[in-house]
Structures are given as structure tokens and as C-alpha cells.
Structure 1
Amino acid sequence: MTNALQSVLIERFAARGDGVAADGRFVPGAVPGDQLLPDGSLLHGPDHVEPGCRHFGTCGGCQLQHVSDRLIADFARDRVLAPLARAGIEPEMPMPVHVSPEGTRRRAAMRATRTDGEVRLGFNAEGAHRLVDMAECPVLHPALFTLVGPLRQLLAPWLPERSAIGVTMTLTDNGVDLLLANLQANSLPRIEGLTRFAAEQRLARLSVEGPMGVETLVANATPSLTLGGVPVTLPPAAFLQATADGEAALVSAVTSILGDARRVADLFAGCGTFALPASCTAQVLAVDGAGPAIRALAEAAGRAGRKLTTEHRDLFRKPLSADELSRFDAAVIDPPRAGAIAQTEQLAASRIRTVAAVSCNPATFVRDAERLVAAGFRLGRLWPVAQFRWSTHVELVAEFRR
């Protein structure tokens, strides 16, 4: 019979998903509410659930598959609020956490390798470069997972031993957009094989990326996504939110912050995730350093007659100045994981009164938030969004006003 006096309660999660015991020990695989027994084993609590994938524990994609939905939401909230609290910043209104359902991941970047004569396709193992050969994936949209087996067969004759290629799959409105990196398509048999594969799998587009850049081999349909009611033709491997469900949650939050703003600057706009919805009611300037994405946005907005102009500009090296920003009622900023301290400093120095900040990295978000708060902004509503359902990766939208 277990001696409860000798067990130690798992009280919380660490940032990377390990359980943290009451005595400070980090316990991989533990969930708050579990008991750490004297022999090092775990007595599972009510929020420790059976993982839904055979690759759990080896694949690096899902660290929290053994955690109840209730605690996943708590984890996402704490990942956002805890670093803010350490910086002395408290949102006026923390909003409910949005958790995307399983089977909705519409974009995935994987690797394919040949080891000991066997072709493997999947994600990296946790904390290692070793590849986990994917036999199932409850995260991926079924339309993407369906391609895994046929891709192994396609690549089997072409991959030399110990070689690797990148495989990026994106589910668009008109089918899957497939990009194969480091694969030579320089012979007629290989080109014919890729063309046949694209037809059999009904791909929207198949492209290859090599030393000369990206080349589209097959375009059976226009690989487009509808953003803010406007179809946008995606460049190969273009950035977009991982799930349509998570994207809708982020867009809803940003739209709520912008309100009736008439002039909006969208910084790091990409293909228009936030710029196109905002352009339904506002005049929008969309700025990004990714040329293919900003050109795709400009073409889509032009076809739709939206009140939207674009600018191709590296916002890390040449952020919009305080004077340029002061012409706008509100700004949206959605930088990469590194954050955007130079651009944030210009926002802080401007006369702009409303900022909708979108972030995929709580640490750099806090650093940038400190600049805005020091300049007189207050942090109002804050939405945590866990669209990578079983991952420790969390996104957020924050409302800054002054």
C-alpha cells in the first residue's frame, strides 16, 4: 500500500512541459496532481490522460499529449501571464484560452531520410536530430497525413543512403501545396514521376527547391487561401497560421482591438492574415520584408478592390519611424519569434494610440511589452491561443492602448 507521507505532489509545469514537484525536482512525463513515489514512479492524478499517439515521448512535436484539456488551457495561460507578472505587468482583462482541436494542423515541415536502406518520413525526435518515422499523427489534418505513405514510395528510388530532403505540406482551399527541398528534378524520368504523383494525389501544386531557388513543376490548381474574404495565391512554403481554427481566434481578437480605427498599419503582414480582414472597414498599409508574400497580398487586394497598400521593407533594419506611424489610428504587429524591439521602440515613440500585438514567443513579447508600457500604453485584454494543441508552443494577442 502506498505511503502517502513519502510521496511528493507534482504542483506545476515547467516551461518545456516537465512536471515540477513540491520539492523543486523536475519530473519528465509528470502532470500537476500526480504523486512522485519514493521509487521514482508516478501515481497518476485526474489530469493525467492516456496519450493518443504511439510516437508520444519520442517525437518532438507533442509534449503534452498526456495532459487533460483543462490543464492544457491552464498551461497556455500561465506561459503567457507568468513572465508578464515577473516583469510587473498585469493585463486588465485576461481572456479565455483558445485551444485548437486535434486533426486541424494545415501546414507541416518534415524531413525524409534514407537510413540502412529504409526511407523514413516524419518529425525530429525530442531534443535530437534523429527522425521519428511517422506511422500516425493525430495533430495533422487528414488530407496531409494521407500523403505520408505515398511520399515514402515516391522518394524510395531517389534518396541515397544517409541523405535527407525537406518536405513542406500546406493545405490550401484547392488542395495540398507540396514543396520538396534538396531534391534534384534534373532528369526526365524524375520529372515525369513527380508530375504523375501530383496528378494521382490531386495536389494543387508541387515545387522543388534547390541551389537555384524554388521551381514549380506542377500547378494543377491555384494554391490559395481565403483571408478576410479575399482569395490569396500563396507563394511556395509561405508562412500562415498552423490551423484555420487558431487563425480565426487570432483574427477575431485583432479585429476586436482595432474596432472602428480608420487607418491601420499592419507590420510583418505576410500574406494578409490581419491586413485583409482590417481592410473591410479601414485603409490599411501592410508592410513585410518577405517579397513573395507581400506581392501576393498586393495582387489579392488589388483584385478585390480593397483599400490596402503594401510596402516591401525589412522592418528589422528599417522599421517604420515614429513619424510614419503617427499617421495611423492603430497598428497590428506580428513579428517572428525573435520579436521586434526596433519596431516596438518606434511604436512607443509615436503618437499612435492603439496597438494589437500578436506573438508566438512569450519571452520576447514581454521584452517588447515593457517598452510599450514604459511609453504610457496600458495592457488591456490578452488572449492566449494554443493552436499547437499538445505542444508547449503558445501564441497570444494583446491589446495596448494609451
Structure 2
Amino acid sequence: MAEQVIIRRLGAKADGIAETSSGSVFVPKVLPGETVTIERDGSHARLVSVDEASPERETPFCPYFEACGGCATQHMKHDFYRAWKQETLVHTLRQARIEAPVEPLIDAHGEGRRRVTLHVRFPDRAMHVGFMAPRSHQIVEIAFCPVTEPALKDQAPTIARAIGEHLKGPRKPLDVQITATKTGFDVDVRGYGPLKDQDRIRLIDLAASLDLSRLSIHGDVIVERRPPAITMGRADVVPPAGSFLQATKLGEETLAGLVTEACARAKRVADLFAGAGPFALRLAEKADVHAVEFDKGAMVALDKAARATLGLRRITTEARDLFRRPLLTPELNTYDAVVLDPPRAGAEAQAKQLAASKVPLVVSVSCDAATFARDAAILMGNGYRLERVIPVDQFKHSPHLEVVGILRRDVVKKRR
């Protein structure tokens, strides 16, 4: 049943919140002050119409925005969007009882996302290729995605559809991850079972017809026609198939610039949750770096790139699960600075070890404001001062935000 409500405020995920006699209702793609008609589904609702629009509303630039779950904020005017995103971070810090100056939001969208994952589904006799609708497994079919790099914008759906056609026999749900690299497209497909020899041959031929650099299934490389290289500082890195990568090229450069600036005086740095080396390879231009990452393939890629790059100082690598085996205090005490860039779950175990250490500088990079605040609070409760908080918007048009925090120890603990 349709009903009319007034949106009072926005939540952290960009949903509008209306207060009703039966509790809060969350409505996507609306703005504070708007009167809207909705259809409820529990505490969430589908937007039927905007009856009284906010002056901060603008027309979304993507024709798929209303149906697609990929973007959440294209209906917001630029200044409102920036203020909301920054205030969301401030509010999250306050909830963790952290009062720190938050610097202006840095726009790091650049040319757009350099990686996209498209879903291929077979709910009926037809094949459907696109993104998921909000809070749904229904596919919104797309012909292009305007928030990706130009090379991906039109080509990504074409590639995903061609792969779906080749692998549609079992009608299994597929996720096709496509990354734009300096040597072409790197494609990793998830959801398909073991390949038969004839399937591999057909996929090798398909990779040639699509001019892909590399094609893999669940990280298993089917064919590598050219090494899919990503430039990181002076180095060219070939990451493992499907491995972590910063969302945009400008986002990586911006984050790395903030990290290297903070560590400018450090002679020995530990780069934890290092990935394939976006920070380590740049830090090594001035410092010795020890890079630690759970993904062994990423460590191999980093080591190979470091050895092939002139002018870098010593980089050592270690494959280690930092959630279960964080670097311990005696290990940490040998470094002038530690860089943390964990997944969304944060680095609580590692933060506790750092809190007991003598490390004078910690640079925390996070894609989740809540876990950033939790980990920062652990350090601040043990002698660290949160000197700078810099929000970096490489997930533009979404509620996600990258945060860089620079923490220094005010008083160095005496050795026992």
C-alpha cells in the first residue's frame, strides 16, 4: 500500500529516513525535507514518487540510476553531496568519541572506476547482464556505465555478455570482473565450475577475439596474451588475477601521495595489508620497506616489480595473515613508521599491537569510517595523537569513503 512520508535526514548509506508511528523507514534516492510517496517492505521502502522536491535535488546523469543499485547519490547537488559525505565522517568519529579536525573532501574520481564487476544471470530462458537492483538479486541490464573509465564504459557490458554466451551451458550465475590496465582488459570470472579442455580452447579463442590481456576463471589463468600491468610509482606491477586494486587511478595516486608525504622522514617503514604494492613501491623511493600481505600472489607480484625497477631502496615481503598473526610489538619497534590499509573489517588486532609499541608514526588508510574510528581510538587511548584526518572520495556517487589518518605518538615509551 502506498503512503506519503516526509524525509527527515539521511543515513550513512545515503538512504533517507522518515519517522512514522511504526518506526523509522529507510527510503533510497531521496533528500531531507522532501515529501515522497513510498511502498513499504518492512523498515525499508520503495520510492514511488517525489511529491515535493528539495532544492538540493538535481537530475541524475545516468539513465539507469533509478533502477540500478550501483550508485546512490547522483540525485544530490555537488555541494550538498560533499557536505553530507564529510559530515557522515565527522559523525562517525564523534560516535567513537574522537574529536579531530576533518580536512576538506578530496575528489579522487578522476576518469572513473578502473574496475567493474558485472553479473550474468539466467533467471529465465534469456541471459541478463548488468548490475543488481537495490536490495535485490534482480538484474538491471545496462549497455554502458558512465562512472567507469572511458575504456570500460561501453566495452565492459560487451565483454561480460560475450563471456556469458560462451559459459551459459550450465546456466550458473557468473560475476565478471573487468579491470582496465595499461596493456588492455584483465578479466576474471567467478561462479563457473571446473573447465573442460574444449571450454578452455573456446575461451582462449574468445580472449583473442576480444583482445583481452588476460582471462582467468576464479584466479586460474586461462590465457595471458599480454601482462596486464598497473603502474605504481616508478614500477609496473602485474597483480594476481582478481586481486585487490584501488578503485580509481587518481584515488591510488592521491592516497599514495598522502602516505608518502607523512612518511617523508622515515628510513624504515612497514606497509601492512600492502596488496601488490601501491604504497610500498612509492615509499621505497626514499625508505627501506617491509611489505606484509595475506595474498601470496600479491607479494610475488610486488617482489617481481621491485626487482625490475631501478632507483628503489630495499623492499622485503612477507605473506602473513595479519588478522590472526599481527606483527608483534618487538617486531614493530624496529620501524620509524607503519602504514595500515586493511579491508573494511579494519585492523583491530594489529592496532592493539601498535598501541603497545614505540612506533612514532602510524598512517591509517581505510575504506570504512567506523572501523577506522575504532582502530584510531585504540591507538589514541595509548599515547597517539590523531594529527590529520583526510577524506578521499574515490567511490564517487556512492556512500563509501576512503579515510587517511595520521597518528603520532606524543610521548615515546621508555624501554624497560
Provide TM-score, normalisation by structure 2: 0.87
- Decide whether the 8 Å contact of 1:103 with 1:138 is kept in 2: no
Give the one of 117, 120, 140 matched to 1:112: 120
- Could you say if the C-alpha distance between residues 144 and 374 of structure 1 is closer, same or farther in structure 2, counting changes exceeding 3 Å? same
- Could you say if the C-alpha distance between residues 158 and 319 of structure 1 is closer, same or farther in structure 2, counting changes exceeding 3 Å? closer
1:130 partnered with 2:127: no
Give the one of 70, 77, 81 matched to 2:86: 77
Corresponding pairs, count: 389
Deviation, 1:110, is: 2.5
Distance in 1 separating the partners of 2:177 and 2:260: 30
Describe the superposition over 1:33-92 as per-residue Cα deviations: whole angstroms up to 9, x where unpaired. Answer: x4427998442233211112222233221111111222222222122211111222122x
Residue in structure 1 matched with residue 300 of structure 2 by the alignment = 295
Amino acid at match of 1:356: V
Alignment of 1:141-160 (within 5 A): 141-145=149-153, 146-156=155-165, 158-160=167-169
Residue in structure 2 matched with residue 3 of structure 1 by the alignment = none
Deviation, 1:9, is: 7.6
Distance in 1 separating the partners of 2:368 and 2:190: 27
- Could you say if the C-alpha distance between residues 152 and 28 of structure 1 is closer, same or farther in structure 2, counting changes exceeding 3 Å? closer
Give the one of 185, 192, 196 matched to 1:186: 196
Distance in 1 separating the partners of 2:388 and 2:156: 40
Residue in structure 2 matched with residue 232 of structure 1 by the alignment = 237
Distance in 1 separating the partners of 2:373 and 2:329: 21
Structure 1 stretch displaced more, 113-122 or 330-339: 113-122
- Decide whether the 8 Å contact of 1:207 with 1:236 is kept in 2: yes
Distance in 2 separating the partners of 1:378 and 1:62: 35
Distance in 1 separating the partners of 2:224 and 2:166: 24
1:48 partnered with 2:54: no
Amino acid at match of 2:393: A
Percentage of pairs with the same residue: 38
Deviation, 1:109, is: 2.2
* Alignment root-mean-square deviation, CA: 2.3
Give the one of 5, 10, 13 matched to 1:13: 10
Deviation, 1:297, is: 0.6
Deviation, 1:329, is: 0.8
Distance in 1 separating the partners of 2:156 and 2:5: 45
Structure 1 stretch displaced more, 297-306 or 218-227: 297-306
- Could you say if the C-alpha distance between residues 379 and 203 of structure 1 is closer, same or farther in structure 2, counting changes exceeding 3 Å? same
1:372 partnered with 2:382: no
Alignment of 1:2-401 (within 5 A): 12-20=9-17, 26-32=26-32, 34-36=33-35, 41-91=50-100, 93-101=101-109, 104-145=112-153, 146-156=155-165, 158-160=167-169, 162-183=171-192, 184-188=194-198, 190-209=199-218, 214-304=219-309, 306=312, 307-401=314-408
Amino acid at match of 2:350: Q
Q: Secondary structure of the equivalent of 2:122?
A: strand
- Could you say if the C-alpha distance between residues 237 and 8 of structure 1 is closer, same or farther in structure 2, counting changes exceeding 3 Å? closer
Describe the superposition over 1:273-306 as per-residue Cα deviations: whole angstroms up to 9, x where unpaired. Answer: 1111111101111111111001111111122253
- Decide whether the 8 Å contact of 1:79 with 1:394 is kept in 2: no
Residue in structure 1 matched with residue 412 of structure 2 by the alignment = none
Deviation, 1:103, is: 5.2
Distance in 2 separating the partners of 1:77 and 1:366: 14
Distance in 2 separating the partners of 1:96 and 1:191: 50
Distance in 2 separating the partners of 1:332 and 1:10: 40
Structure 2, unmatched stretches of 5+, are: 39-48, 410-416
- Decide whether the 8 Å contact of 1:290 with 1:312 is kept in 2: yes
Distance in 1 separating the partners of 2:6 and 2:123: 43
Describe the superposition over 1:244-268 as per-residue Cα deviations: whole angstroms up to 9, x where unpaired. Answer: 0111121121122112111111010
Distance in 2 separating the partners of 1:365 and 1:266: 17
Distance in 1 separating the partners of 2:217 and 2:17: 45
Provide TM-score, normalisation by structure 1: 0.90
Q: Secondary structure of the equivalent of 2:266?
A: coil
- Decide whether the 8 Å contact of 2:160 with 2:176 is kept in 1: no
Distance in 2 separating the partners of 1:341 and 1:318: 12
Deviation, 1:26, is: 4.8
Q: Secondary structure of the equivalent of 2:223?
A: strand
Residue in structure 2 matched with residue 4 of structure 1 by the alignment = none
